[in-house]
Chain A
C-alpha cells in the first residue's frame, strides 16, 4: 500500500522550525517548481497527477473554471492502481462546495470595511477551514483501515488558514503539530508532498516558490513536482 500525504502549502522552513519529525521522516527536502510561472495550487496538483506541466492547459480555463477542473483518472498515474482512493485532491476529487465557500469568505474579508467586520469574517473563515480539516482527518483515518493499494489524503488547512493567519505563529505551530501527529500515526510507508510552501506578509501568507517532500526510503534531492508520477510508479 502506497500512501501520499498531500499537504497544501506545507512550508519547509516551518517543518524544521517546529521540529515536525514525523513529517520529516528519514529524507526530506524542497521540490523544484521553477518551471511554473506562479505557484498555483490547481496547476501544481494537476501536474503532479499527470506527470507533466499542465500550466497552459489549466490556465486556459480561466480563474473561475480552473477550480472546477476534474481530470480523468486515465490521464493520471492513479490509473495504474487497482483500488486507489484520493480524498479532496484539487483537480481530481476536489470538494468544490467547501473550497468555493472558503474563497467566498476570503473575498468578503478583503471587501469588509471595518476592522470589526474583518475580524468576524476571519473567525468564520477559520472555523470553516478547521471544521473541514476535522472531517478530512476522520475520513482519512477510516480509509487507511480499508483495503486500497493507493491512498492520497489531501490536507488544505495549512494553506487556507495560512492565507489569512500565517503571521499568527501560535495557530500555525498548532496546525503543523497536528499534521505531524497525522504523519506519526501512519503505519505503512508514505510520502509527504506539498505543492508549494508559504511566506509571510504581515499577518497574511503568500505561496513560496518551492514545495516540501519527504520519504523514508530514498533521498529524492530536489525533485520537480512532475517527477512524482514516475517515482510512485517505481515504488510499486
Chain B
C-alpha cells in the first residue's frame, strides 16, 4: 500500500498520542486512518444512487404508459 503525508495540528497529535494506550492503536497514523475510514464509509453509505434510480423509474413508468406498454 502506498502512503501520502497530511498535516494536522500538533495539538491534535498530542491528544491522540495520549489516547493511544487505551484505544489499542499502535500509532497516531493507524488511529487517524481508522477514524477517517469510518467517516468515509458512513458518507458513502448514504448512496445518492438510490434516489436517482427511483426518479428514473417513475419517469420511465410514465413514458411506458404513454407508449401503451403499461396501463
Contacts and interface: CB of A to CB of B under 8 A. Distances in A.
Nearest to B67: A40
Contacts of B70: 103, 106-107, 110
Interface in A88-104: 103
Contacts, number: 46
Chain A to chain B: the 4 pairs with minimum beta-carbon distance, closest first: A202-B56, A204-B60, A206-B63, A63-B68
A24 B53 CA distance: 33
Interface in A41-65: 41-42, 63-64
Contact of B69 (A106, A201, A202): A106
Interface string A57-94: 00000011011000000000000000000000000000
Contacts of B52: 202
A158 B4 CA distance: 48
A30 interface: no
Contact of A110 (B61, B67, B68): B61
A23 to B, nearest CB: 24
Contact of B64 (A67, A106, A202): A106
A203 interface: yes
